[in-house]
Amino acid sequence: MTGLSVAVIKGDGIGVDVTDAALAVVDRALSLVGAAPLRYVPIQAGAGYFQETGQDIEPGGEERCGACDAIFLGAIGLPSVRHADGTEISPHLRLRDRFGLYAGVRPVKAYPNAPRRLADPRAADIDLVILRESTEGLFYSAAAHGRAQVIGDDEVRDTLRITRATTEKLHRFGFRLAERRKAKGAPGRLTCVDKANVFASMAFFRKIYDEIAPEFPNVETGYAYVDAQALNLVRAPWDCDVLVMENMFGDILSDLAGGLVGGMGMAACAEIGDEIGLFQPAHGSAPDIMGQDKANPLAAILSGALMLEYLAERSGLDIFAVAAARIEDAVSAGFAANRLRPMEFGGDMGTQAVTKEVLAQIG
């Protein structure tokens, strides 16, 4: 199979810079392993586009995304550009909803010579994944405007939605992910993070987890209430493997976990559905540093590696997985040699310098 296509939404702020960096690294890795180049399909979307046109994505943009093999997104949003109700411009939430991108994969890994916020030497061993359901939960009301119930100027009610169909797929995805990690030396444990002691929706989420677990006897199970899990991520994150949770819980805990290993400039993200996957750095658009060569592109670069792993599985071409490993190894080697020093961490390397070093480490 050749000619796999990727819809590219560079978006707003530093999204443009980090997307260019990520795709340059992806292209180099594919070239070095002898894989066919990807075909990029540019799509205009974001707050800047909304400011110019009144639309958050170009006409036919969603359909063109769906016709591709994957979607790569830089960043979307500008603080000064909002809808009349005060919410930010967020076509990516609609893309999640439209394409059923239920499995939000947020790897959290400590790298040598990168900042670690915990003094315990075991913090060097942090290597976990937050699996965030990305289409339902409390974000159900935000995916498409109008789902919140607004009662005059006195009250607003947002709906938290948990469905069996989506939750079954999410938990099976989590168990399979834990299996793959176990094969590579990780504990092979999937922890269900919820608030089942208070909310019926969360008890339902845990009930489905318990129903799915017997299908995966080689994966260790575990449970944590979300508040206790927040404590554990600070107290002993090196004990965590794969944590599966509702949308809002995942939104919050993934940022907390990202802070443990340097910051959001390291926060890669994959959002995967049954037919397509979307890949993006989990950080924002940071308009205060846009165009200044200060952004850390590593979250976007590592998201590019996640995209290649997904395309390997989708296409059956293992060579894409080889290219993904080249990128991941390059980032690890660069940090180990202290040759990756992003400004985000107080270093002396901007977007272009970090990208150039990753390319050099790839070969």
Q: Which residues pair with 128 in a beta bridge?
A: 108
Is 251 annotated as catalytic? yes
* Residue 52 phi, psi dihedral angles, 5° rounding: -80, -35
Q: Helix, strand, coil: what percent of the chain each, to 5?
A: 45, 20, 35
- Of 239, 255, 293, 329, catalytic: 255
3-state secondary structure of 293: coil
Cα distances from 289 to residues 22, 265, 343, in angstroms, run: 18, 13, 11
Q: Are 122 and 238 in contact (CB under 8 A)?
A: yes
3-state secondary structure of 188: coil
Is 140 annotated as catalytic? yes
Is 195 annotated as catalytic? yes
Q: Are 220 and 189 in contact (CB under 8 A)?
A: yes
- Of 17, 56, 195, 241, catalytic: 195
- Of 12, 69, 194, 251, catalytic: 251
Q: Are 70 and 279 in contact (CB under 8 A)?
A: yes
Q: What is the number of other CB atoms lying within 10 angstroms of the CB of residue 59?
A: 10
- Of 120, 210, 227, 288, catalytic: 227
Q: Using alpha carbons only, what angle is made at residue 126 by residues 209 and 208, rounded to the nearest 5 degrees?
A: 5
Q: For 60, which DSSP code?
A: T
Q: What is the number of other CB atoms lying within 10 angstroms of the CB of residue 81?
A: 17
Is 255 annotated as catalytic? yes
Is 274 annotated as catalytic? no
Q: Are 91 and 70 in contact (CB under 8 A)?
A: no
- Of 49, 140, 209, 310, catalytic: 140
Taking Cα atoms as reference points, which of 270, 253, 264 lies closest to residue 295? 264
Q: Are 134 and 76 in contact (CB under 8 A)?
A: no
C-alpha atoms less than 13 angstroms from C-alpha of 15 in its C-beta half-sphere: 24
Alpha-carbon gap, residue 324 to 320, rounded angstroms: 6
| Polymer length of the chain | 363
Alpha-carbon gap, residue 298 to 40, rounded angstroms: 20
Q: For 236, which DSSP code?
A: -
Active-site residues: which are they? Answer: 140, 195, 227, 251, 255
